Amino acid sequence: MASMEVLWGDLLRHRADFDKFHLRSALADDPYRFNRYSIEMEGDLTLDYSRHRISDKTLLLLESLFEQAEVRGRFADMCAGKIINETEHRAVLHTALRGGVDEVSVNGQNVTKDVEEVKQRFLAFASGVRDGTIRSHTDEAFTDVVNVGIGGSDLGPRMVTQALKGWTDGPNAHFVSNVDGAHLGDCLENLNPATTLFLVASKTFTTQETMANARAARNWIVSTLGEDAPGAHFAALSTNADAVQAFGISTERMFEFWDWVGGRYSVWSAIGLPVAIAIGPERFEEFLSGARAMDEHFATAPFRANMPMMMAALSLWYRNIWACGTQAILPYDQRLENFPAFLQQLDMESNGKMVRQNGKPISRPASPVIWGSAGTNGQHAFYQSLHQGADMVPCDFLIAAKPTDASEDQHEMLLANCLAQIEALAFGRSEENVRAQLAAEGMSDDKIDRIAPHRTFAGNRPTSLLLYEQLTPHMLGRLIALYEHKVFAQGVIWGVNSFDQWGVELGKVMANRLLGSIQSGEKGEEDPAVFQRLMSYRAD
């Protein structure tokens, strides 16, 4: 088999095959293109990738790249608990959190057993909060739950709780992450301390932003209900028992997760407690089962029928062969409003690297910039650039065939808008077509000459469509795991460690040092010149 570098060279040369390619012709000339370039899973989830600048030869070359990199073998290593996060010497086992796997051990510890024990504990706690058997300091049922976290301890549960709002029948869920006091203040403004429960999500229970917000929340409870109240109004998602107890939370209300669970992969663990409280343990199990189904699909489906591999391959094709620096995530589902931000962390924190596992620089750029917004709002913001901008931006569209709880008329309008954007990006509108239309409207020739270029759309812009029956807990679990595995496969191809985040750690270290300088008013040796200006503004 050809080496990785030879395959990359073949792909670069293959790009020239598309110099005269246009999706308008490709789709018109091949009535079976959708059948050849789509994947269906479980009869209710389809990936349509027929609107891409690809051919069978493209997929053969990309498949060879995946085989040469041994993507499937690396995934098996991950699921078996092998140390694949080499810079931190850790296993990576978020797949084990989904359950239904054979026994996995890390350093002699039965991970599968530990996962089940903690899950049963936090699901029992969720049930107690939901049915009112776990009550407040004033012996009232909780009406509101505030998750205090940041990064993966916030983005994951926030996104999932919002996405599954149509399935929510528990207390109202709120999320606070920003250390800016306005975030917590705005959240608490209309809440009742006597019926508010806080979940503090920090593995070490030392995360600066999270603990600052947690202390402020504790003061809010104490100021109203007294010094003895916090124990009834707080639970911890952490492993630091001493710090949790010092804060005033019993270890009976501490739910552990492990160092082999990265923050951006942690919603399947106790970090998912706010989700379980919102939708209930049974639906939370359905959420896990969806992810488990995608794990099995990724591990066993052949390349051409494998959704995560195909999505990873297409992203590599555009990032490294077509030099596309960004990728847009465009869910036509308001409940998935936070999905682009969640995927932004998942992808860019995982693969936003310049160094390979072996410590050597990577030979080609890795993670693109991930961004996006829920449709149809984005159509009135940045879609102009998607259609006529100078940069080609590959797009992932997501839409449900059936609404969760919206009106059928509105959902049909949403479907029409989503499909129209995909068609417009692929087909565009030729200048010949524009001129004919303007002439039919009676416009003069000289005016047509001026106007036609502005109404011409090149098209040929690549899109994927993820079409699913309905956004259920099981479906959402599959969608999240789909992107997890996509990011994993890309990381293997690029040779980076997708499971550390030293860039995040650097910012934390520098923030701690600068905090001391700001509090003391004394400039440190490495502080920027703007420090003095900052302090002068504070003095005023």
Provide the annotated active-site residues.
Answer: 349, 380, 508
What does DSSP assign to residue 333?
-
CB neighbours (10 Å) of residue 21? 14
Residues near 505 by Cβ (< 8 Å), separated by ≥ 6?
none
Q: Extract the runs of DSSP E, i.e. beta strands, from 258-412.
A: 326-331, 369-372, 395-400
Q: Cα separation of 318 and 322, whole Å?
A: 5
Query: Quick check: 331 and 375 in contact, CB under 8 A?
Result: yes
Residue with tokens 């990032």: 319
Query: Quick check: 333 and 476 in contact, CB under 8 A?
Result: no
Length of the chain: 540
Helix, strand or coil for residue 237?
Answer: strand
Query: Quick check: 90 and 258 in contact, CB under 8 A?
Result: no
Query: Quick check: 155 and 345 in contact, CB under 8 A?
Result: yes
Sign of the four-CA dihedral 270, 271, 273, 276: negative
How far apart, in Å, are the Cα atoms of 49 and each of 39, 128, 215, 471, 478?
Answer: 8, 45, 49, 20, 18
Residue with tokens 């004394």: 522
Q: What residues form DSSP beta bridges with 237?
A: 201, 255
Residues near 424 by Cβ (< 8 Å), separated by ≥ 6?
387, 457, 459
- The b/e string for 508-521 (b: 16+ C-beta within 10 A; e otherwise) is eeeeeebeebbeee
Three-state SS for 369-413 is: EEEECCCCHHHHCCHHHHHHCCCCCCEEEEEECCCCCCCHHHHHH
What does DSSP assign to residue 96?
G
Backbone dihedral angles phi then psi of residue 521, each to the nearest 5 degrees: 80, 5
Backbone dihedral angles phi then psi of residue 329, each to the nearest 5 degrees: -110, 120
Strand order across the 326-331 sheet: 38-41, 45-48, 463-468, 395-400, 326-331, 369-372
- What distance lies between CA 248 and its chain's CA centroid? 33
